[in-house]
Structure 1
Amino acid sequence: MTVLIDTTIACPLAEMGAAAAGAEESGYDAVWTFEGAHDPFLPLLLAAEHTDRVMLGTSIAVAFGRNPLLLATLGWDLQAYSRGRFILGLGTQIRPHITRRYSMPWSRPADRMLDMVSAVRAIWDSWTTGGRLDHRGDFYQHTLMPPLFRPSPSEVDGFGPPPVWLAGVGPAMTRVAGRVADGFLSHPLCTPEFLRDTTLPSLAQGAESSGRGRTAVHHSAMVIIGDTAQETAAARAAVRTQIAFYASTPAYQPILASVGFADLHPMLHAMSKSGDWQAMGRQVPDELVDSIAVTVDDPRDGAAELLRRYGPYVDRLGFNTPYSADPAILARLARAVRDRDR
Structure 2
Amino acid sequence: MTRVFVDTTITCPLSEMGASAAAAEESGYNAVWTFEGAHDPFLPLLLAAEHTDRVTLGTSIAVAFGRNPLLLATLGWDLQAYSRGRFVLGLGTQIRPHIARRYSMPWSRPADRMLDMVTAIRAIWDSWTTGGRLDHHGDFYEHTLMPPLFRPNPSDVDGFGPPPVWLAGVGPRMTRVAGEVADGFLSHPLCTPAFLRDTTVPSLAQGAAVSGRGRTAVHHSAMVIIGDSDQEMAAARAAVRTQIAFYGSTPAYQPILASVGFADLHPTLHTMSKSGDWQAMGRQVPDELVDSIAVTIDDPHDGAVELLRRYGPYVDRLGFNTPYAADPSLLARLAAEVRRSPA
TM class, shorter-length: over 0.9
Could you list the per-position Cα deviations for residues 168-190 of structure 1 after superposition, in whole angstroms to 9, with x for gaps in the alignment? 00000000000000000000000
- Measure the CA separation in 2 of the matches of 1:126 and 1:326: 46
Match for residue 153 of structure 1? 154
Do 2:220 and 2:319's aligned partners in 1 also have CA atoms closer than 8 Å? yes
- Measure the CA separation in 2 of the matches of 1:126 and 1:337: 41
Match for residue 220 of structure 1? 221
| Mapped pair 1:251 → 2:244 | no
Match for residue 96 of structure 1? 97
Question: What are the within-5 Å matches in structure 2 for residues 183-222 of structure 1?
Answer: 183-222=184-223
Pairwise CA distance, 1:341 = 2.4
Do 2:182 and 2:216's aligned partners in 1 also have CA atoms closer than 8 Å? yes
Pairwise CA distance, 1:19 = 0.2
* 2:6 aligned counterpart, secondary structure: strand
Q: Which runs of 5+ in 1 are unaligned?
A: none
Match for residue 294 of structure 2? 293
Could you list the per-position Cα deviations for residues 119-145 of structure 1 after superposition, in whole angstroms to 9, with x for gaps in the alignment? 000000000000000001000000000
- Measure the CA separation in 2 of the matches of 1:55 and 1:300: 25
Match for residue 77 of structure 1? 78
Pairwise CA distance, 1:338 = 1.1
Could you list the per-position Cα deviations for residues 131-168 of structure 1 after superposition, in whole angstroms to 9, with x for gaps in the alignment? 00000100000000000000000000000000000000
- Measure the CA separation in 2 of the matches of 1:13 and 1:328: 21
- Measure the CA separation in 1 of the matches of 2:47 and 2:342: 31
- Measure the CA separation in 1 of the matches of 2:63 and 2:16: 23
| Mapped pair 1:2 → 2:3 | yes
Q: Which amino acid aligns with 2:163?
A: P
Q: Which amino acid aligns with 1:119?
A: A
| Mapped pair 1:28 → 2:29 | yes
Match for residue 238 of structure 1? 239
- Measure the CA separation in 1 of the matches of 2:83 and 2:341: 30
Q: Which amino acid aligns with 2:165?
A: V
* 1:80 aligned counterpart, secondary structure: helix
* 1:116 aligned counterpart, secondary structure: helix
* 1:31 aligned counterpart, secondary structure: strand
Pairwise CA distance, 1:229 = 0.8
Pairwise CA distance, 1:339 = 1.4
Q: Which amino acid aligns with 1:254?
A: P
Matched length: 342
Pairwise CA distance, 1:2 = 1.3
* 1:203 aligned counterpart, secondary structure: helix
- Using structure 1 for the length normalisation, give the TM-score: 1.00
Match for residue 114 of structure 2? 113
Pairwise CA distance, 1:192 = 0.2
Match for residue 266 of structure 2? 265
Do 2:3 and 2:341's aligned partners in 1 also have CA atoms closer than 8 Å? no
Q: Which amino acid aligns with 2:142?
A: Q
- Measure the CA separation in 2 of the matches of 1:337 and 1:174: 26
- Measure the CA separation in 2 of the matches of 1:194 and 1:300: 25
Q: Which amino acid aligns with 1:74?
A: L
Pairwise CA distance, 1:213 = 0.7
Match for residue 276 of structure 1? 277
Match for residue 140 of structure 1? 141
Q: Which amino acid aligns with 2:6?
A: I
Could you list the per-position Cα deviations for residues 76-129 of structure 1 after superposition, in whole angstroms to 9, with x for gaps in the alignment? 000000000000000000000000000000000000000000000000000000
- Measure the CA separation in 1 of the matches of 2:75 and 2:285: 39
Match for residue 87 of structure 2? 86
Match for residue 164 of structure 1? 165
Q: Which amino acid aligns with 1:316?
A: R
* 1:221 aligned counterpart, secondary structure: strand
Could you list the per-position Cα deviations for residues 56-89 of structure 1 after superposition, in whole angstroms to 9, with x for gaps in the alignment? 0000000000000000000000000000000000
Question: What are the within-5 Å matches in structure 2 for residues 296-335 of structure 1?
Answer: 296-335=297-336
- Measure the CA separation in 2 of the matches of 1:144 and 1:200: 38
Pairwise CA distance, 1:326 = 1.2
Match for residue 129 of structure 2? 128
* Structure 1 segments (4+ residues) deviating >3 Å: none
Match for residue 52 of structure 1? 53
User: What is the RMSD computed on CA atoms of the aligned residues?
Assistant: 0.6
Q: Which amino acid aligns with 1:129?
A: T
